[in-house]
Structures are given as structure tokens and as C-alpha cells.
Amino acid sequence: MSSVLQLARPDLLDLEPYAHAAWVPSLERLHANESPWRTLGDNSAAGLNRYPEPQPRALIARLAELYAVEQDRLLVGRGSDEAIDLLVRAFCRAERDSVMIFPPTFGMYSVAARIQGASVVEVPLAADPRFELDVSAALDQWRPGIKILFVCSPNNPTGTLFDRAAVERLCAALAGKALVVIDEAYIEFAAAPSCSQWLNRFPHLVVLRTLSKAFALAGARCGTLIGEPALVQLLRRMIPPYAMPAPTVDAALKALEAPSRAIAHGRIDLVLAERERVARTLAELSIVRRVWPSAANFLLVSFADAEAVLRAGIAAGLLVRDVRRQPGLGDCLRITIGTPEQNDRLIDAARRA
Ligand SMILES: *Cc1c(COP(=O)(O)O)cnc(C)c1O
């Protein structure tokens, strides 16, 4: 048995998946109780009257190429959120096992854990000087039963790209002990390669990627889990049988064609330039205490009066994320980089606040 499966819930290892209708595109389908006719206005490639391909091969091939990994390492799902949920359910026994998170961080890790009845061990990031991962503290607090560590890098909401050597040290120390999940939802905005380069060295490493941010497909819901083939096999048996809606697959395939990819890369460059400009401009305002360094498409900003900035933003027709309830972020707002015009309006609002 693959070492990573030794960490999974033993009761799931022989799970018989739902037997979904066979996928044989060369034959006409009288085996899935579908309607043989399309609904009005259905211009989709496969026809919305048909159940979709469970793990669409064409999409997996394109994603494998995009992320430079083998196809049998990929699971596609409805956003990275689905992968987070599947991982917690596959590895954590209710009321016995736990996950480790590094707050302030993305909220879905602890929500998924709570739904599964897994407890959450928190190892806070070291705010001084820049919300860095504390690997020694993580290893000190790790104990058997902590099945998954969720490492979000670049981290939401702080924007921190964690020190690569530190993440590598964490992976090396936990080999055979816990799954290390690196959530790279924002990696396209960072000047760093993906940790999926390490997959051959670390079978317990999982990398999460998404088309929601840099590829402008948040509404389509398409995320990818990259990991050990044996782990991917287990999760493919657990994921709901027709998880990927046909319109999502069509939209993702379109977004991965060369012209859309060229546009996406141009927009990433624009976001990076705007991130620098907004950071520099905000840092000069007296209401701004600190603009945290960001490797993502947003900025975490500490304000002398965050409430006033929030209100001024709303008056200017702009919503920014209030993160003040998160540990260590009592005076912070998270501001997504928008169009240059939106960014100008946001800066004006902060100036007026
Ligand atoms: C936005 C975000 C995601 C969600 O991605 P989906 O693919 O849209 O589910 C995952 N992780 C982090 C840290 C995010 O900020």
C-alpha cells in the first residue's frame, strides 16, 4: 500500500464507488435515463441533456500540461474548495483526528474540518516581521492524529509567500506522518515556482491549484488537486459521480486555449503592476499604518481607522474585505486589486477617509 494511504481513513480504503453510467462516446446512450433531446438554447458541446464525463479526460490533459505534472496525479473538482472537503473527509476520522492550520489564513480549512468533526490545531503565523510560517512551532505541536497540514502560500489574507526552504523543511520532517497540503490559489501572482516540483520526493505532498483567480473562472468552479496517484485514485472514488458540470468543462477548456492564456498572462502582469502602484500610493497616506508585502492579487493593509476606510469605500461603490476579526488583523482590510480605474477610486476613498 502506498505510504500516503496509510494515513487515510482505513474504513474508506475498500470503498466501492457509485457505479456511474459508462462513458463510451462512440455509442448512443440508452443507459443513463437521460432525455434524448436538448433543451431550448443548449449550445453546449456535449449537450446538457447528457450526464457529464466524471473526470473529463480532455480537461485533465490540458490541466496536466498547464501544471506540468502527469495526468494520473490530477483530480478536478468544483474549485479547490471541493478538494479541501474531500481531503478532510478522506483522512480525518470524526472526533479523533485533526488538521493543522496557520492563522490568519483561508477560512475553508477549518469549516471543512468542523463539518467532518475533526478538530483544528492552530499554529499562528509570526506577524513580525511578515506573517511567516513557524516551522519549528508546527513540528513541536504535531502529534499522531494530526492528519493534514493546510499551508496556504501565497497566504490568504496576508499575501505572504512563505519561505520556500521552510516549506520544504516542513515537508521533509512530516514524511509518512501527515499530508502537507499546499494551497497555491494565488501562485500565478508570485515570483515563485509551484511546489508540485517536489511531488516525486514527497508522496505525502498535495498541491491545490484553481482557475478561479488568475484564469478568471471563479464562476465556473474548476479546481485541481495534484498528488500521489494512489491518493488521487481514492479521491476519485469519493467525489460525487458527475461532479464537473458540462458548462464548466467547456469554459475551462476555452480558458486553456492559447489566446485566452495569452490574455490571462497579460492581465496577471497588469495586476502585478497595479499591486505595486496601489501599495506604494497607499503607503504614503497618513491613515495607512502598513501595507503588507503581497505575492497575490490583493493587499493586506493596516489602517489607523479601518472602519472609516470601509465606509469611504462603500460610499465610492467599492466593497473591500473586512478581516479585522481574524487573529492579529485587528486593524486590517484586504483589498483586491481591480482595474486601474477601480484602484484609483479605492485610493481616493482611502485618502478621503
Ligand atoms: C479563493 C481561494 C480558494 C478557492 O478556490 P476555488 O477554486 O474557487 O474553490 C482556495 N484557496 C484559497 C486560499 C483561496 O483564497
User: Would the pTM of this model clear 0.75, i.e. be above it?
Assistant: yes
pLDDT over threshold 70, residue 1:
no
Average pLDDT, stretch 204-231? 98
> Using one digit for the tens of pLDDT, what is the confidence trace for 95-146?
999 999 999 999 999 999 999 999 999 999 998 899 999 999 999 999 999 9
**Nearest atom within ligand 1 for CA of residue 212:** 8
Calculate how far, in angstroms, residue 185's C-alpha sits from the geometric centre of ligand 1: 5
The SS3 of residue 124 is coil
344 C-beta neighbours (distance < 10 Å), count: 15
What's the DSSP call for residue 126?
Answer: B
Calculate how far, in angstroms, residue 209's C-alpha sits from the geometric centre of ligand 1: 8
Contacts (Cβ under 8 Å, ≥6 apart) of 189: 154, 213, 214, 268, 271, 272, 275, 295, 296, 297
Per-chain mean pLDDT for the chain: 96
Rg over CA atoms, the chain: 22
Give the mutation target among 108, 111, 153, 160 for probing the ligand 1 site: most ligand atoms within 8 A of CB: 108
Taking CA atoms only, the protein residue closest to ligand 1 atom 5 is: 80
d(C-alpha 239, C-alpha 256), whole Å: 24
How deeply is 308 buried, as exposed, middle or buried, from its count of CB atoms within 10 A (0-12, 13-18, 19+)? middle
> Using one digit for the tens of pLDDT, what is the confidence trace for 10-47?
999 999 888 888 888 889 999 999 999 999 999 988 89
> Using one digit for the tens of pLDDT, what is the confidence trace for 49-67?
999 998 999 999 999 999 9
